[in-house]
Chains A and B, each alone.
Chain A
Amino acid sequence: MGGSLGIICCFILGALFAWLGWVPDYLLGHEATVYVLYVLMLLVGFSIGYDQRLGEILRTLRPRVLLLPLATAVGTFAGSALVSLFMVYSVGECLAVGAGFAYYSLSSVFITQYKGPELGTVALMANIMRELITLLFAPLLVRWISPLAPISCGGASTMDTTLPIITRYAGQQWVFVSIVHAMILDFSVPFWVTFFCEL
């Protein structure tokens, strides 16, 4: 939870500074976010490749485990497509926001690039909310639906920020499923988001 609060604080600070006019003009263009994103992508890739457990996890994987990330993706897309009927945004734009799977930093920069800062801001808030919902409702989701429910709800965050709470309420036996779920969704976010933005 502390991590999410820090993230939100940084965003609010940035917005406040810019609003008060304390930020030099050359930072106000969207170029800055792009370069920071490039650094982030390189770092994320590096940490996936460097992780010694990657091979081990891929080797011991059974096809059944892939069902859960598939279900999360299909379910999220179905829900997002459905709600797009009632929204001012197009189906592609709603799907792009949904395809962030709680991975707010990456998806909102992509969406800002493709669709402008308005949808980028919506994507940022929507994906932070998804993570917060997972953190707050994990115990209820386990009781009402399934131990798989908080994993699916957490999207791409279930290998770091939401893993402790999932372990606590769903049980330790789902840790592997949770990590694989996040790895697959994590990797797919840039592809889905850019794909839907170009629809």
Chain B
Amino acid sequence: MFIPISLMLTGIALGLCLRKVAWLAQVPRAITPTILLLLFVLGVAVGGDPTLMGNLPLLGGRALALTLAGVGGSMVAVILVRRYFPGAEAGRHARTAAMSGDPAGSPADASGMATAFEDAPVPPEASVRPSEEVRPHGR
């Protein structure tokens, strides 16, 4: 348990220390291939286990039940906290904002980001180009 977490903390420290080294900006690109490799190896672990392979539909059903329960719980929690986020009521506001394409920081945005963040009138680059991955970090 401690090895993976301490590796992550080591990585954070390394990243903080080496920010000045420009070419290291390429390092996060290795994350997606690593995740693909990890999934392949996970697949090998599952495929090499005949009992597991036989039970895949059953396990999938259980997974779906757990997912729906988790998502359902989150949605109830959102209904409870949305009143603390001005502009977060269902439907109208959000859709009009999305459709009119008001940039973050514009007057139309006054109830969203500006209430969530102090003095953050300008969005980070990532919010202008949302199609670009913020961190090349598939899950």
Asked if A43 is at the interface (CB within 8 A of a chain B CB), the reply is yes
Asked if A190 is at the interface (CB within 8 A of a chain B CB), the reply is yes
Asked if A87 is at the interface (CB within 8 A of a chain B CB), the reply is yes
Chain A, range 29-47, C-beta contacts under 8 Å to B: 30, 32-33, 36-47
B138 touches A176 (CB 8 A): no
**Which of A42, A130, A173 lies in contact with B11, CB distance below 8 A?**
A42
**Which of B8, B88, B139 lies in contact with A42, CB distance below 8 A?**
B8
CA distance A28 to B44 in the complex (A): 7
CA distance A133 to B76 in the complex (A): 16
A79 touches B126 (CB 8 A): no
**Chain A's interface: helix, strand, loop or mixed, by majority?**
helix
**Which residues from chain A contact B137 at a C-beta distance below 8 Å?**
44, 47, 159-160
Q: What's the minimum C-beta distance from A44 to chain B, rounded to whole angstroms? A: 6
B12 touches A121 (CB 8 A): no
Q: Give the A-B pair count, Cβ closer than 8 A.
A: 411
CA distance A109 to B42 in the complex (A): 8
**Which of B9, B47, B63 lies in contact with A15, CB distance below 8 A?**
B47
A17 touches B44 (CB 8 A): yes
In the complex, which residue of chain A has the Cβ closest to the Cβ of B34?
A40
In the complex, which residue of chain B has the Cβ closest to the Cβ of A102?
B139
A49 touches B117 (CB 8 A): no
B48 touches A23 (CB 8 A): yes
A147 touches B88 (CB 8 A): yes
**Which residues from chain B contact A163 at a C-beta distance below 8 Å?**
126, 130, 133-134
Given A122-B63, A126-B67, are A179 and B77 also a contact pair (CB < 8 Å)? no
In the complex, which residue of chain B has the Cβ closest to the Cβ of A187?
B8
CA distance A26 to B68 in the complex (A): 37
Interface residues in chain B, defined as those with a beta carbon under 8 Å from any beta carbon in chain A: 1, 3-5, 7-19, 24-25, 27-28, 30-32, 34-49, 52-53, 55-56, 59-60, 62-82, 84-85, 87-91, 93-95, 97-98, 101-104, 108-109, 111-113, 115-120, 123-124, 126-127, 130-131, 133-139
29 CB contacts below 8 A, A to B, read A11-B43, A14-B39, A14-B41, A18-B45, A32-B44, A36-B37, A45-B7, A45-B9, A46-B12, A76-B70, A79-B72, A80-B69, A82-B69, A102-B139, A104-B139, A105-B35, A105-B39, A105-B42, A118-B59, A126-B63, A126-B66, A129-B67, A153-B71, A169-B95, A171-B102, A172-B104, A173-B97, A175-B113, A175-B123
